[in-house]
């Protein structure tokens, strides 16, 4: 039973007790007063009537009977009896009718016991008889009954008024308590909110304590996220430029080449600085580091123009860039070379030769070693051309592709004809049990027998601002599948979709149509996309949570320092990028990083999933590190 129900029960019980006590005291006091008055009236009436009879000159029995009968007929008496000295009844009149003005149960419950009036009738010095008079009590009962009703009405009215006022007061008192309950529930739902302090001193201290606890939790997660981010950078990033190191980059690029949902083609660029030793001698160690950082910043900016771009410092003087989904490698190489040369010339004009750049186009499934070897050959050719030159593989290595207009027509046609479907990949728990499925969208090409994976058409869909339509279709297909498929289904949304208010409205309308299925729908956004649009992601998370959906981050682990800003989003799970998983049994530092990441996520009530697991050794290591589940080629049904 809730606290407020207990308080109301106590108040109602107290009011009832007070009413019963007040009612009994009032009624019994009134009864005592009425009994006293009836007794006095009986005595007065008996003496008055006896005196009247004694003064009658003619005291024959008939005259006495007529006088007593006339007196009784006035209706104010219940009993008039005259008894002679020998105790023989001379005259007796008694009222035996029932009084309907007062309930019988009330009469039985509260009887009036007034003393009867007794007086002697005299004839001179001779006693003619004894007169007994009892006044009628129906008027007393009516007055007592009406008084009881008025008292009851007053208590009920006062109770209703007090109840209304009490409800308002209780509501005012309950508001801060309800907010505290909501705050505690939010903490259990991985949301950390603070409340304004109420005026009530007792509640103020409770709210203040809760707010302090929330602040400490936020600080703890911020400090832990910062510590893990420092460890991540130390393990997986170059200490000078902050770019990914060779191991992390190659793991991520290898996953992009092997993943069925990756873009069908892309561009790989390899940039090599002129000898670092010569640069150190020419401009000094500190300036060389500044030059390296400047190049790293420009490469980062270059990659940000493409949603899936990756860059790293793979060796002391070598930088690598991978742009999945963009196969025009010659244009990319020329653009990057021109940008870098112009920007570097501003700060280091004394340097004549900065770098050389090689570029190749690749296709999904190409061996990593072949791509690296081909790009190294292009780099060697660029070095022959002269200072700050680039060289790219011939265009005949690029597969035949559709034009931008053809892609737009293909995607719009598929959306119109509903030539889309979902394919599902399993996600298991760390113990190897089925957890849920992840749905990936397929689009039917011109050839009805060919279905394109998301990596084939998504880059062009983003360019033509069609990603929100595709995401909405994916959610619709997932909800339809949930009607016939047991378990949960996860869907990945593009960052461009979550900032589209039209998409948000349509998504809400779609979820409203399937209220019973929303709890089995998992919606995730890439970590990079969520941090690009943090406000839109938090708002989307609140909307999805209102419908009962679960939310997560995909390709997570790159931006740990920014996780605390999503402390109030209510994340349910994280999918850790495969770049951190590959080779983890042999990488003790990565094991430490991933163990700390899992502990921090579990402290926030968030489950952790390893994505893209390929090796059995990696799969066996995950439970030891604290992972809750895994997905990838190593997962077998």
Tell me, what CATH number does 560's domain have? 3.20.20.450
Taking all residues of the chain, what is their mean pLDDT, rounded to a whole number? 84
**Helices (H), strands (E): how many in the chain?**
19, 18
Asked whether residue 86 is assigned to any structural domain, the reply reads yes
Residue span of the structural domain in which 426 resides? 404-630
Q: Is pLDDT of 544 > 80?
A: yes
Say if residue 391 is in the same domain as residue 408: no
pLDDT digits (tens, 9 = 90+) for 183-206: 676 666 666 677 777 777 767 777
Total count of domains within the chain: 3
Q: Is pLDDT of 285 > 90?
A: no
Say if residue 510 is in the same domain as residue 620: yes
Of 134-143, 405-414, 481-490, minimum mean pLDDT range: 134-143
Asked whether residue 419 is assigned to any structural domain, the reply reads yes
Say if residue 422 is in the same domain as residue 274: no
The per-residue pLDDT for 109 is 79
Asked whether residue 248 is assigned to any structural domain, the reply reads no
Q: Is pLDDT of 17 > 70?
A: yes
- pLDDT above 90 covers a percentage of the chain that reads 21
pLDDT digits (tens, 9 = 90+) for 124-160: 777 778 888 888 777 787 888 888 888 888 888 887 8
Say if residue 16 is in the same domain as residue 58: yes
Q: Is pLDDT of 522 > 90?
A: yes
Say if residue 451 is in the same domain as residue 360: no
pTM value? 0.67
Say if residue 382 is in the same domain as residue 416: no
Say if residue 408 is in the same domain as residue 363: no
- Band of the pLDDT at 396, cuts 50, 70, 90? low
Say if residue 331 is in the same domain as residue 346: yes
CATH of the domain at 117: 3.30.110.200
Instruction: State mean pLDDT over 40-58.
Output: 80
Say if residue 7 is in the same domain as residue 144: yes
Say if residue 472 is in the same domain as residue 600: yes
Q: Is pLDDT of 94 > 70?
A: yes
Transcribe 552-581 into DSSP letters: EEEEESS-GGGGGGGTTS---EEEE-GGGT
Asked whether residue 458 is assigned to any structural domain, the reply reads yes
Provide the token pair at 293.
Answer: 């950082």
pLDDT digits (tens, 9 = 90+) for 244-266: 999 889 988 988 888 877 888 88
Q: Is pLDDT of 400 > 60?
A: no
Provide the Cα torsion 246, 235, 286, 561; round to 10°: 110
Final residue of a structural domain among 397, 422, 456? 397
The per-residue pLDDT for 299 is 92
Say if residue 126 is in the same domain as residue 89: yes
Instruction: State mean pLDDT over 436-463.
Output: 84
The per-residue pLDDT for 190 is 61
Instruction: State mean pLDDT over 536-545.
Output: 89
The per-residue pLDDT for 3 is 62
Asked whether residue 42 is assigned to any structural domain, the reply reads yes
Asked whether residue 626 is assigned to any structural domain, the reply reads yes
The per-residue pLDDT for 189 is 63
Say if residue 513 is in the same domain as residue 478: yes
Asked whether residue 569 is assigned to any structural domain, the reply reads yes
Final residue of a structural domain among 363, 397, 431? 397
- Band of the pLDDT at 509, cuts 50, 70, 90? very high
Asked whether residue 251 is assigned to any structural domain, the reply reads no
CATH of the domain at 350: 3.30.70.270
Final residue of a structural domain among 355, 373, 397? 397
Q: How many other CB atoms are there within 10 angstroms of residue 625's CB atom?
A: 22
Q: Is pLDDT of 477 > 90?
A: yes
Long-range own/partner contacts, residues 324-327 (CB < 8 A, 24 or more apart): 324/256, 324/262, 324/263, 324/266, 324/455, 324/459, 325/263, 325/265, 325/266, 325/455, 325/458, 325/459, 326/266, 326/267, 326/459, 327/265, 327/266, 327/267, 327/361, 327/398, 327/399, 327/401
């Amino acid at each position: 039973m809730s606290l407020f129900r207990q308080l109301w029960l106590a108040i109602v019980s107290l009011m009832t007790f007070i009413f019963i006590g007040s009612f009994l005291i009032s009624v019994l006091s009134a009864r005592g007063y009425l009994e006293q008055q009836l007794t006095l009236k009986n005595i007065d009436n008996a003496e008055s009537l006896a005196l009247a009879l004694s003064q009658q000159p003619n005291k024959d029995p008939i005259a006495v009977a007529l006088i007593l009968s006339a007196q009784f007929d006035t209706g104010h008496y219940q009993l008039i009896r005259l008894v002679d000295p020998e105790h023989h009844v001379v005259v007796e009149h008694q009222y035996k009718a029932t009084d309907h003005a007062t309930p019988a149960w009330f009469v039985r419950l509260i009887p009036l016991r007034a003393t009867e009036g007794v007086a002697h009738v005299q004839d001179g010095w001779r006693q003619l008889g004894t007169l007994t008079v009892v006044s009628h009590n129906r008027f007393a009962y009516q007055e007592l009954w009406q008084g009881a009703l008025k008292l009851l009405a007053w208590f009920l009215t006062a109770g209703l008024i007090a109840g209304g006022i009490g409800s308002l007061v209780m509501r005012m008192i309950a508001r801060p308590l309800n907010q505290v309950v909501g705050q505690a529930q939010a903490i259990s739902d991985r949301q950390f909110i603070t409340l304004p302090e109420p005026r009530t001193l007792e509640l103020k201290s409770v709210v203040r304590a809760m707010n302090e606890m929330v602040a400490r939790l936020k600080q703890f997660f911020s400090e832990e996220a910062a510590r893990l981010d420092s460890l991540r950078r130390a393990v997986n990033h170059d200490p000078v430029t902050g770019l990914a190191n060779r191991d992390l980059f190659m793991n991520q690029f290898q996953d992009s080449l092997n993943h069925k949902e990756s873009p069908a083609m892309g561009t790989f660029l390899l940039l090599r600085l002129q000898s670092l030793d010569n640069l150190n001698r020419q401009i000094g160690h500190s300036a060389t580091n500044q030059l390296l950082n400047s190049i790293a910043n420009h490469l980062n900016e270059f990659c940000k123009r493409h949603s899936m771009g990756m860059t790293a410092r793979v060796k002391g003087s070598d930088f690598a860039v991978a742009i999945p989904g963009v196969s025009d490698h010659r244009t990319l190489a020329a653009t990057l070379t021109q940008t870098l040369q112009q920007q570097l010339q501003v700060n280091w004009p004394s340097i004549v030769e900065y770098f050389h750049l090689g570029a190749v186009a690749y296709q999904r499934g190409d061996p990593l070693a072949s791509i690296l070897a081909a790009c190294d050959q292009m780099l060697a050719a660029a070095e022959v051309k002269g200072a700050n030159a680039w060289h790219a593989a011939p265009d005949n290595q690029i597969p035949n592709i559709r034009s931008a207009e053809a892609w737009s027509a293909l995607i719009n046609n598929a959306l119109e004809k509903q030539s889309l479907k979902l394919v599902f990949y399993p996600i298991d728990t760390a113990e190897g049990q089925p957890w849920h499925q992840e749905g990936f969208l397929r689009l039917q090409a011109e050839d009805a027998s060919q279905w394109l994976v998301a990596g084939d058409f998504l880059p062009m869909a983003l360019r033509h601002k069609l990603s929100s339509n595709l995401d909405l279709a994916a959610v619709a297909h997932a909800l339809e599948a949930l009607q016939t498929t047991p378990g949960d289904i996860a869907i990945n949304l593009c960052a461009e979709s979550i900032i589209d208010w039209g998409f948000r409205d349509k998504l809400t309308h779609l979820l409203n149509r399937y209220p019973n299925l929303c709890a089995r729908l998992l919606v995730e956004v890439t970590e990079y996309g969520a941090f690009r649009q943090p406000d839109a992601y938090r708002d989307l998370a609140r909307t999805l949570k209102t419908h009962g959906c679960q939310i997560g981050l995909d390709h997570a682990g790159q931006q740990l320092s920014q996780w605390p800003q999503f402390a109030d989003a209510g994340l349910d799970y994280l999918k850790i990028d495969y770049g951190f998983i590959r080779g983890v049994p042999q990488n003790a530092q990565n094991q430490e990083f991933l163990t700390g990441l899992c502990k921090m996520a579990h402290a926030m009530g968030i489950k952790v999933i390893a994505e893209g697991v390929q090796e059995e050794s990696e799969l066996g290591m995950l439970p030891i590190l604290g992972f809750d589940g895994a997905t990838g080629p190593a997962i077998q049904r």
